[in-house]
Amino acid sequence: MKEKFEFNYELLSDWTALPNEEHILVEQAFSAMKNAYAPYSEFKVGACALMDDGSFILGNNQENAAFPSGICAERVALFYAGANFPNKKVLTLCIVAKGDLMPASQLLSPCGGCRQVMLESENRQKQHIRIILVNQDNRTMVLDSVIQLLPFGFGRIG
């Protein structure tokens, strides 16, 4: 029996087309990106998690000469949220990036390890996390759940 997996996403020509209340989320992610430590790849990534109490948790990539000891921006934000606010829920996670590691026209997408961490966060809180991915050319992909990025993730619930 062949099965089929489909998902929907929204693709905007620019992040400013997001609802006004989400502009601050993107701006916070860009702010976090400025503090990224990326001397090896020169590819800076910023993340901003909107929590259920309206607060923001920022993360940025932190590279290390002893590969793979670095950590991605989205994992920094989600691990900080889980370690410090285990009873709060992440409503939305916005990820932005800048650098020559990938062409500006290529859609930004989290690595596999980050997708699994994002899915675990979603499972842990038993609630979907909205994902906003802002490309270097400002095109923006919006997904309703991490499951759309990792439909067959390890330990997926529901």
The residues annotated with a catalytic role in the active site are: 74
CA–CA–CA angle 23, 29, 33 (5° rounding): 145
* Exposed / middle / buried, residue 53 (Cβ in 10 Å: 0-12, 13-18, 19+): exposed
Residue 26 to residue 11: CA distance in whole angstroms = 15
Which letter does DSSP use for residue 147 in this model? G
Which of 65, 19, 27 has the alpha carbon at shortest distance from 46? 27
Residue 158 to residue 110: CA distance in whole angstroms = 22
Which of 94, 54, 65 has the alpha carbon at shortest distance from 77? 94
Which of 147, 140, 118, 107 has the alpha carbon at shortest distance from 22? 140
